[in-house]
Structure 1
Amino acid sequence: MLLSFKTVYATVMVYSSTFSQSLYESENFVDNDFFRNSKRIMMQSLLEKEEALLKETKYQLLKYRAKEYNLLKSYSSLMKMINKGKLPNDLTIDEICASQPNLIIKSQIECHRYYNCSSANSSQNNWQWNQELPFWLSKYKYECRYPYLFSEETLRCENYTIVKCGSRYEAKWECEYKQYQYECRSPSCIPCDLSFHSCYNLPNGIWPFPERPNYITYIKCENYRKIDAGACSIDSLWGVQTFPFMGQCVQLFAIPKSYNPNGELPSCTEKDDGNYQFPVRYCNGYYVCKNGFASAVKCPNNTVFDSVKKICKADGHCVH
């Protein structure tokens, strides 16, 4: 009886193990089939995306080649006109644009102007200006916004710092741009040369307005162009007003009175080298004469210029 039970138990265990193994293999087969299908779907999706990308790339390449071909054809025709003596200018550009409707070309003499035969060229709108009569002889003539210039390389108006003008005239003042002259059309309008100050012949830096040389207001020049305007502030160290002087805002005790009546730096002509009190009795600083030249010196904190000992002292006696 015992032997029979063991035999039955062993048979059950073998069957159970065999069934479990069969079930595991069946489930594993299903899982593998699922992952194979997922990978196949994923690969198909990737291939479709790559195919779409290739089609788009091919389309853009053909489009670029067509544009390049048309451009070359356009400039080939233009060169034929030029060889016949028909240079692009205000008088010939209308005829040239009639046969070359996509042409964009520089002005031969002015770096801030160009010709645009296509009225659909909206990419330039931020930095271009075009006006019909009375200024332009042709509707195809355009002008960059100040201080932009026309680039031969990009065929766009670009910042003047990256444009090579070559032999073309390089305008550096607003009043050389027609747009600023056009905006002044009423009898009460202030003339351009009074509204926009020129930086021609001025080094980089801050300079007073020509008509107000002794005021705190200034124009800021860079590469002979006006790039900013403003007013000098109070000097935090000296506690006094600053004025435009030698390219920057300078506190009034460092500005020679001979340069600006608002300045308080005396002349050292016929004075011995040494320290001197400012004539206005400013006690928080003094000026130094050396070899006939004057310079301002600020006393350290909590000190004043001693009128007798000629140095800055904590308990200095300054004659007011």
Structure 2
Amino acid sequence: MLTSRLAVSMGEYQQNLCKSTDASCTPCSQRIPSCIGLPDGFNPIPGRLWSKDYVQCDRNRTIHVLHCKQGYFSPGEKACVTAIKSGDGNQFCNTNPRILIRSSDHCGQYIDCRYTRRIGGYVKECPYPDLFNPDTLECGEFTKVTCGKVPEPQAPCSYEKNLCLDPYEKCTPCPERLPSCVGLPDGDNVFAGKIWSQHYVVCYKNRTKTIKQCSSGFFDPQNRKCSSQVGTDNIATFCSHHPAARIPNKVNCAQYYDCSNRNSIYQPYLHECTYPKLFSVATLRCEDFEQVTCGARTEPKAPCQYLQNQCPSTDQSCLPCPMRLPSCLGLPDGDNAYPGHRHWTKYINCYKERTMEIKECSMGYFDEHTKRCLVEQHTTPVPTCGVDQFECDNGQCIQVTDRCNNQFDCSDRSDEINCVVKTVCPEGEWRCDNGQCLSPLSRCDGRIQCSDKSDEAGCHYNTTPRPGTYMNICHNQQNGRAPHPTNCAKYYDCSDKYHPVLQECPYPFLYSTLHRSCQNFEYVQCGQRYEPQAPCEFDQNKCKALDNKCEPCIERLPSCVGLSDGRHAFAGQLWTPKFILCHRNRTIEVTDCPDNKKFDPDQRFCVNPTIVGKTIFRHKVAINS
């Protein structure tokens, strides 16, 4: 390095010239380059661009000859650099024919001057997502390379080799083939532009690690996993991307979502097969129930398990479904007695626990023993109760000692018929001539309910419903309440006896005619009133008619009807932390397993998923990739 100020041209100073006797002396022009014609400041040595040496000039004088400690002197940036622009590759390699150096365009590219035969110049690119390591002069894992001030490419389409560069070559645009993970969390994520499809992308540190497809179903962008199910929380988004799709309801085998038809009386896009058909995931149509496999979806069998047969919450005059459409659950195939009625003209035909038809004898009544219509009742009916038991009219057996004990032990109250005549009925009830007590709405309702038929004596019937009946319900109700005539969970608030207000007990309480209040269902005698058991039979748990954001009741509060007491899996959510607690057909509690455990539907208790991974996989195989 020169430490003193020099002449305009070093060659003009005799002291810098080689002596004629010194054959080893390097010519002055090679040792001390001239600054004549160069701007003030740092400049490359003339004739030696992209070398490690450079000069400092001032008014055409060579002030200093300097050397880069790292990298090479850039003639464009007038500074020492450790990475060069791709466009400077040819010029750089002319001076440095055996050098590898990082490209300043991005950290995944480098300049390789070792090869003279090349396509696309000296610029090379690491395979995605590797980066060029200037220390090892090799492509390496991006997690082990520091880019410093050089831009760090993260998306696949930041690498030129993934782009469509040839205008004459048929090529799918890079983002449609290789989606970006920049800004996305690690793990499975939605494929940009292919939302709600089979395609999804696996991300790691903003890199697109893998592109996968669901083995069945589609990738759920909200839950970030493969699924064959859509619920009320995401159906609108799904349908916006698949306007012609039909998919099953994840919890109910008779229901499905039709994206081409948003209008529904239940929920937007939600539709239901006509009873007793079920929705097939194979054909995506409603099919005969024998042709459909429900899998984890709840399989409704009784007519009243179908929404189409339920009473609208706004229609207080609607007769509860079980009183219109009886269930065949637990009954054998063929003709059976109408539930709750013995020796009645109507009977039902069952097949695989479905109510196929409600029939009626043209004459006589249906005999449950012979399974046919009889004109006259047997004089010696086939006994069904023990010798120490009394047979109720509906076939129920009670102890003989419970007969005529002033308490209703038969669910149809027949154990208190033809007993010592009561002189007074409980407050709010109507007295038959034989002493039997009934709801006041039973009077002149067109149905004989007193065994002596006195409830229909002297009545004048209209062909239309009588609105006055509901006013009479509050007659003589001193405590301001009256039981609903057909629903054991409802009662009338008679504060204004001319305008009674229908109320409902909180689930699972029932209205006690004895206590005149809502009581624990275990201590309430419903008699002929229908006894609702499932949470979704209570109006309070149903979605309001115009509430499109409400999650259907059955998806929130599954039924325990037909299940044993104790813990059971949450229908439609097998092998998740959720489970339900049942007691006497009631859903007592919906809760979760502690400590991230899963509920085993076979063993019916919470387990550690890592211990039973194979079992979980068996249940999940249909929805995971």
TM-score tier by shorter-chain length is 0.3 to 0.5
Higher strand share: 2
TM-score normalised per structure 1: 0.47
Higher relative contact order (CA 8 A, sep 6+): 1
Please say which structure displays the higher CA radius of gyration.
Answer: 2
Higher helix share: 1
